Amino acid sequence: MVRKRPASSHAQSAKGKIAVFEVDTIRVHNVCRRLARAQLAALLLLAGPAVAIDAGCPQWDASGTWTLIQSNNTAVELKLQQNEHGFSGTASFGHWVDNDFFLCSIASCGKDYVGHDGPVVGSIKGNAFEATVYWDDNAVGVYTGEVGPQGLIVGTGFDKNNPSNKAQWHSARTMACPAIAAATQPQAPSAPAKPPVALGRVQSRPGLSNGAPPGICEAASSARTRNSPAAPSLERQCAALVQPTSQPALPVVDADWREAQAARGATLAGEDPLATELRNALSDEAERTGFDYGLAVAEGHTMPGPGKDAIGAALEADERRGFELGVQFSLDRNANFDLASRGAAIMLSSPDVASVRDGSAIGARPRMAGQAALYKLGFNIATGLFGDPALGAVGNTQMGPGAKKIRDALSPAAAQAGFDAAVRYHLAHHYGQ
C-alpha cells in the first residue's frame, strides 16, 4: 500500500510497533543529491580506465535497511535480504495521531501511535527495482523504480487494491554495486580458488515446494514465523500458485503438532482462572484437548482468521468443538486485555461485585452453564470499563458508541450477556457522583 499521512489528526487506536518516520522531503532529497555526487566523484577518482561507470552495475546490492521517501510526506522502511531469486524482508510504516477514543470525553488524551507492517518481496534486474508489500491491513503496495548510475532509486508506488492511491518516492540512501567496488580495489596476490558465495542467505524452508515461486512462499513462511496477520493470505497465494487447481492444503496436524499445542494450551489455561474454569466444564477429554489446541493457536491473537479456521477443519468433531471454544475465549480476552485485567482485579478486591457476577452467570441463563466462564469474561470486561474508578476501573458513565463496539465484538450470547449484566449493575451505582 502507498501509505498516506492522515488528512486530520484523528486516526485508529494505536498498534505501536515501529519507529515513526516524519520526513522533510526537500531536506532529505538535497542530502541524497549531495551524497550521490560525493560517491560518484569518489568512484571516478578511484576507478582505473577499465571501469566504465556509465555501463551501469551488473548486479546492485539491495540488502540492508532502506527508507523510501514518498511525495505525500510519509516514508516506508524496508529491511531486505538479497538472494539468488531477488530479495525479501519486512516493511513498516507509522505515525503519531491525536487520540480520539471515546473515553477522551471524560479523560485527558495524548498521542497514539498507528503502525503497519508486513512482508515484502521483490527483485532488482539491471537497473529495474520492483517490490511488493503485503500490509497487515490487507492492502498491497507495489513500488517500482529505477536505480540511477550513483545508486539512488527513484520511482512510483500505488495500492494494488486502490490504484488511484499513488505517490512518487525515492530512496534515502544509495545502493552499492559490489562489482564496481571490487574493481576499484588493488589486486591482491593470487590465491587458491574458493567456491562462490551467494548473496544473502538461501535455505530450504519446511512446507515450501520446489515448484513454488520463492518470493510469495518465502514471504508466507516469514509472516507465519512472525505471527503476522498477513500470513493466512500469503499462504493461500503460495498454495494457489503451487496447486492452482486445488484447494489450499490443510495444516499438518500430526502427533508432534498435537503434543506441542496441547502442552502450550494446558500451560495457558493454568495461567487464567476463567480459562481453567472453562476447560474443567468440558466433560469430554477430546473437547478438553481441543480447547488446549485453541488456546495455543490463538495465543496473542485478537481476530478470527482463515488460518485458525483451517486448523479447526482438520480436527475431529469433538476436538473441533473444544478448539472453537478455546479460540473464542482467547480472542475475546486478548482483544480487551486491559479492561479484562482491570475487571478481574476488581473481582478480587470486591467480593460483593464478584458475588453478583457469579450469581448472575448461574441464575440468569441456566442453559449456558457450560459457558459460564465466557459470561464472567464479558462481565469482567464491562466492569473494567464501567466499574468503580476507586477500584481501578476506567469509570465510564454511559453506553456510548465505543463501549457498544466492544460489546458487539464479543462472542455471541455468553460474553455479551455478561457484559450487559455488568453495565446494568455498575451504571445503577453512580460511582463518584
Q: Which of 21-35, 181-195, 259-273, 303-317 has the lowest mean pLDDT?
A: 21-35
Contact 230, 135 (CB under 8 A): yes
Predicted confidence (pLDDT) at residue 172 exceeds the cutoff of 70: yes
Pick the more confident residue, 158 or 207.
158
Q: pLDDT exceeding 70 applies to what percent of the chain?
A: 66
- How large is the average pLDDT for residues 40-61? 49
pLDDT of residue 276: 93
Chain segment 116-131, per-residue pLDDT in tens: 888 988 988 888 999 9
Chain segment 314-361, per-residue pLDDT in tens: 899 999 999 999 999 999 999 999 999 999 999 999 999 999 998 887
* Residues facing 153 on adjacent strands: 147
* Phi, psi dihedral angles at 35 (to 5 degrees): -65, -40
| Distance of alpha carbon 53 from alpha carbon 41, whole angstroms | 11
Chain segment 198-214, per-residue pLDDT in tens: 333 333 333 333 444 44
Classify residue 149 as exposed, middle or buried by CB count within 10 Å of its CB (0-12, 13-18, 19+).
Answer: middle
Chain segment 17-35, per-residue pLDDT in tens: 333 333 343 343 443 444 4
DSSP string, 358-392: HHHHHHT-GGGGGGHHHHHHHHHHHHHHHS-GGGT
Average pLDDT over the chain, rounded to an integer = 74
pLDDT of residue 186: 52
pLDDT of residue 229: 63
pTM of the model: 0.46
pLDDT of residue 51: 35
- Name the band, by pLDDT with cuts 50, 70 and 90, for residue 39: very low
- Name the band, by pLDDT with cuts 50, 70 and 90, for residue 14: very low
Report the 10 Å Cβ neighbour count for 245.
5
pLDDT of residue 3: 56
Lookup: cell for 168: 512518487
pLDDT of residue 338: 93
Chain segment 63-106, per-residue pLDDT in tens: 888 888 888 777 888 888 888 778 888 888 765 555 544 444 44
pLDDT of residue 355: 92
